[in-house]
Chain A
């Protein structure tokens, strides 16, 4: 076994082992949280330390750096509470699995992906609520994802390509396969939504880069249509939401749909797409963490209509939330803007229906995100609500997200190991001639 082959195991093992060891301090949630955060830092160090020996995927090493960071901020943003322990451990476990999928090769990667799908499915079932029958759609979709991953591992092309594509459409949500992504973001507890909002799409894009050259043209055409429909659908659904997490889920769905369109239509944009995806996912993660700040104070079940006037009582929070909102809306200098402009300039896109749809998505996002922020931060200051300023860990968590999203917007892509590269070698490449 060469060093290069062992590195994926090492990267996956650090957080998974950390999750296992976490049970040692299970009765002490404060220590468990600290431990979990430390494990994510160790994972990041491990990635940095081994990055020179890793096989660099087409989308670069950005996801490998961002996943431990996203896990770290997700954990930091959580309050110390007994109910969150499982979510912390699961976050580490997911981190391990995610790093495993991104760094390992072929069959191993597919097996790890099956495990990942299985875990998400299990968690969705575990947190199923009779009031929310849509959880079943999520369970079904991730079940389908698991099946696709298995088929992709055992079948040959073109079935494996189609199965891989479907799995990618479930991970990096594409209408109508978004029914797993939305419940995962809205129903999973604690730190998980804010982490998997990056994890699942990142794995999806990673798989997509490999599989896209192998899928038939008709499938690509279908993807472009679905992507545009999905972008509009996500925006409209987000506009209609009164629930904050659903709003974020559908909002990010519309942005990911734009990404699908670009990747399908202009495959060379993959480097910019990586930045775009990372920024969208992290901005959404930050918004979820910001909403978690509210839930921490007013209960998991709080209705956003009941909260207002936070700007004067929680000024730090107000500033950070506003910055995150600006990032999520796609304004400069944040990564969403940089990624989108990168994709736009790399492609030879002229005025078309797609551009119109993107404009609508942009405008809609400005509307629903600002509306949500305005309702939370401004309006009547309720005298019967207890207001509590951000705690240091919450502040650190939100601040880190903002800094990362700014870095994605202003730092050179080469810093993240992203370069325009040809698709990597792999089994799927065998069907290139069949494809086009």
Chain B
């Protein structure tokens, strides 16, 4: 009975711990592998908190800044990018109704805090104790002013200061800093670095997805198991004595090991969640990737090599406990436990203070040396040293502090246009009051104020444009009675900000209409391209796919398919051979000597003549491996066809197994033998049928050999009922039923507001990109397609929409598509602006002229877009002619040293949901996500609900990814591309050894030292009735988080009144004055 209770107790503790770890993991964002780079908010898990609070948490746990450095905001103020009136408005909530008199001038509180912002007067400056140069030529005034401050500006005594520090640090231990971090800051150890280094080593090896030549053994046991086996063979990692015995004695379950470590460190129960959060945020990249993997249970790598945060923490905490214990014991003679450390801080405050200051480099050199001596000799001279410090250093520090304050007061006087000398005539009390006002508004509080002023400036400008455009254009038509001129074409582009310039130019060229829609075009598919072995998930990562689509050669090309396949195999074999030769232990020595020279050609070509080299290699590829026309398996297979396909796949596997297991030549493998084996393997136990035995005899296979092959087929090649059922299910997922196709087309067209007035040609234009040597390539592709190109989605939707049966049923649903309307799938390359159209052979001959015209218009639009984009590229000083611009962007796309093939989504600021009429005449500078939506087609509010809960989320993630990557690229971003190295085919490290880098690279968001992407929160502008929006906000907690917690700003264009309203965090609407929006 007792053992049952104990077992229940252990299980309960494990469950509790898993819950705590799950909550602790909230502070880190999931990290998607780089093959499907997903823009996401690094603080996504904290969106239930107000933005400012979440930023504070980010600072606490990750050490990341949530706002740009103040000096950048100040430069924006000087350049006029931030308007003084916006700054004043942002400051208003902080202003107190107080003032004082300096000389003849009345100084208000508002003026002081404004000067603090605008002049950086509250910037913390560490004044050096004994600087030998006078930084300030006005040192006499400063000295006098400092003298006047002496009686009123007092500092706490050293004893109080030390006590206060010890108290604060005790409170912070476990909440804000880990025990290992404490050791590093107090004892000068490098425990955090050591542990990070160990964890990087293990994570890099364990999470590798085929990058490593020699994979880590034992990965099937999971991260903890594999580590336990291997680390127990290591000799004293990080100097941990007797590590082999200690590791081998660790519990079997990671939960138990983690609990054991937490108990050993004596972390109080109430602190455990925060403590584990801190441990995770020490390596947010690796931990974030593990978090993602743990949640992707269907991921093949996760199924094969399971990993989770509990396992990660179990390993990490073991190192922590060992190293903290070692450091505390050796340095302080205490246990490495929470209570022992807090007791030490409480009892040895002077020693603690001196050690801490020494490690931080804040002690004068002579004192630092004395601290070192006391540490090494372990003698008790701490009190004597602190007494000396009190009499020697503290007065110097006070003097420096008074002078520093005097400097700030002088700066304030200058900012307020007061003669600084007047300060000497002011009463010390007034001076003290000024100092208090300044200190009550420290630099760390400036970020939110700057951000609001910054955002208001842009928002005023954008809303002003919308207001003006509405004033000049016709009043929105609420009825259908207007005369309709049929456009030449209608093109549907992704909502991506890069589509905006292209759409604008395409519209300007001719009678072309454009629409914006999420780039996966409401087609949720898992897709396998022709000749590829892996599927791609062509939908936003927050969704799931139900259907699969495969690219297959067109039926009339059957005669060239085998030739194409054999050549593909040859190319593949060549690549594999080269790879194996390069990765082998011995062959590289010979390889370099013999084949190394041949690599010179591509190196020279790619470096000196990238465009030419690219053209030649493409030509060679086309000659050797000519592309073949393909189509997609859009229609679902009939059950009989599915079974046939399954049988064909299984037969291929059986053939392979026979060759591998028995060495039988293919000529001797008869269809009877294959089929017989397949049936036997599928039928479970039993005897082989006589036909099989006969075939086996012909092939000279013994009964024993047959049995062995069948066992292998069942166990290793997954030819069994269970797998067959799974494969069948997969095959039946291929394609869409008619009902599904109707629903997909209906939803897509209605959501984009394209329900009438169809042109003869409708283009669904997805987007992709081209770049060389760019691990972030998928970040330039379509976020709505899971970081893939959207080509398959566009093709699928076009094929569905061209299906006559679908059209018939749509017509019955009230969505009538004219018979002469043909849908096309296409893709724009956002790096080169080239547009490619697909499945043109399916287009009716009657549309040839329309297609030719569309192609010409697209080409011209591409040229104009390239020209416009080139003006934003940092290395182009002048406006290039259109043809040169086109050539330039192509060159960028093939340069392997190009760190910035395009700006991508940088610059994004707003998401407009409404009719194109609202924005048609406007140059939105490629900064706005545009989603077409016609509220008149959405009486039920269903479509708007989808738009706000799906595309808006994608836009917000993209926006926040860029925001945080720009404000603190080192913590939330990916750092400079120059140092990037791909690791494990999953992500990027800086240099040879680092955390997985989160976010976007420096070159993606920054132009030199200033942000190209101006970090602002997303502004969503929706053309819809207010009450409809209110209902949706009330229904969705996520929307409440967005708007009430100020992650997203919402503005509604009330269609009836034609007036803009801003949604306040309090849930109220505030009418936007038209003048205000005239920006």
Contacts and interface: CB of A to CB of B under 8 A. Distances in A.
A304 B369 CA distance: 12
27 contacts: A81-B132, A131-B366, A242-B368, A295-B132, A296-B132, A297-B133, A298-B131, A299-B128, A299-B132, A300-B132, A300-B365, A301-B365, A303-B358, A303-B361, A303-B364, A303-B365, A305-B359, A307-B361, A382-B126, A384-B124, A384-B126, A385-B125, A386-B125, A386-B128, A386-B135, A388-B135, A391-B133
Interface string A374-388: 000000001111101
Contacts of B128: 297-299, 302, 386
Nearest to A304: B361
A132 B366 contact: yes
Interface in B102-152: 123-126, 128-133, 135
Interface of B: 69, 123-126, 128-133, 135, 358-370, 372
A218 interface: no
Contact of A296 (B126, B133, B368): B133
Contacts of B365: 243, 300-303
A129 interface: yes
B367 A384 contact: no
Contacts of B69: 383
Contacts of A217: none
Given A132-B369, A306-B362, A388-B133, 6 more contacts: A243-B368, A295-B132, A298-B128, A299-B130, A383-B69, A383-B124
A83 interface: yes
Interface of A: 79, 81, 83-84, 129, 131-132, 242-243, 295-307, 382-386, 388, 391
A384 B361 CA distance: 14
Which of B126, B358, B362 has the most A CB atoms < 10 Å from its CB? B126
Contact of B362 (A129, A132, A303, A382): A303
A295 B131 CA distance: 7
Pairs A-B, 9 closest by C-beta atoms: A306-B361, A305-B361, A301-B364, A299-B130, A303-B361, A131-B366, A299-B128, A79-B132, A298-B128
Nearest to A305: B361
B429 to A, nearest CB: 28
B361 A83 contact: no
A243 B359 CA distance: 13
Contacts of B367: 131, 301
B366 A299 contact: no
A384 B69 CA distance: 12
Nearest to B364: A301
Contacts of A81: 132-133
Contact of A305 (B124, B125, B360, B370): B360
Contact of A384 (B125, B364, B369): B125
Contacts of A131: 366-367, 369-370
Contacts of B358: 303
Contacts of A388: 133, 135
B32 to A, nearest CB: 29
Contacts of B360: 305-306
A307 B131 CA distance: 14
A307 B365 CA distance: 13
B282 to A, nearest CB: 17
Which of B130, B135, B358, B365 has the most A CB atoms < 10 Å from its CB? B365
B131 A296 contact: yes
Given A131-B366, A305-B361, A306-B361, A300 B133 contact: no
Contacts of B133: 79, 81, 296-297, 388, 391
B131 A301 contact: no
Contacts of A132: 366, 369
Contacts of B124: 383-384
Contacts of A303: 358, 361-365, 368
B938 to A, nearest CB: 50
Contacts of A391: 133
Contacts of B135: 386, 388
A83 B368 CA distance: 23
Nearest to B129: A299
Nearest to A131: B366
A360 to B, nearest CB: 23
Contacts of B132: 79, 81, 83-84, 295-297, 299-300
Contacts of B362: 303, 306
A391 B133 CA distance: 10
Contacts of B130: 299-301
Nearest to A82: B132
Nearest to B370: A131
B368 A129 contact: no
A383 B369 contact: no
B368 to A, nearest CB: 5
A382 B362 CA distance: 14
Nearest to A129: B366
Contacts of A243: 365, 368-369
A243 B370 CA distance: 12
A307 B360 CA distance: 10
A129 B369 CA distance: 12
B123 A383 contact: yes
Which of B69, B123, B366 has the most A CB atoms < 10 Å from its CB? B366
A328 B123 CA distance: 38
Contacts of B131: 296-299
Nearest to B385: A131
A388 B1002 CA distance: 26
Nearest to A394: B133
A408 to B, nearest CB: 30
A166 to B, nearest CB: 29
Which of A84, A301, A382 has the most B CB atoms < 10 Å from its CB? A301
A83 B131 CA distance: 12
A377 to B, nearest CB: 16
A298 B361 CA distance: 12
B126 A385 contact: yes
A303 B126 CA distance: 13
Nearest to B362: A306
Nearest to A78: B132
Nearest to A296: B132
A399 to B, nearest CB: 19
A311 to B, nearest CB: 14
Contacts of A384: 123-126
A339 B753 CA distance: 82
A72 to B, nearest CB: 19
A77 B594 CA distance: 56
A396 B129 CA distance: 26
A83 B133 CA distance: 12
A306 B368 CA distance: 12
A83 B129 CA distance: 15
B567 to A, nearest CB: 51
B926 to A, nearest CB: 31
A243 B358 CA distance: 12
A383 B368 CA distance: 23
Contacts of B359: 305
A318 B492 CA distance: 54
A385 B372 CA distance: 25
A386 B372 CA distance: 28
A198 B199 CA distance: 49
Nearest to B365: A301
A186 to B, nearest CB: 10
A326 B370 CA distance: 32
Contacts of B129: 299, 301
A285 B277 CA distance: 49
Which of B123, B126, B132, B362 has the most A CB atoms < 10 Å from its CB? B132
B764 to A, nearest CB: 48
A132 to B, nearest CB: 7
A151 to B, nearest CB: 35
A386 B120 CA distance: 13
A300 B368 CA distance: 13
Given A79-B132, A81-B132, A388-B135, A301 B126 contact: no
Which of A296, A302, A391 has the most B CB atoms < 10 Å from its CB? A302
B221 to A, nearest CB: 40
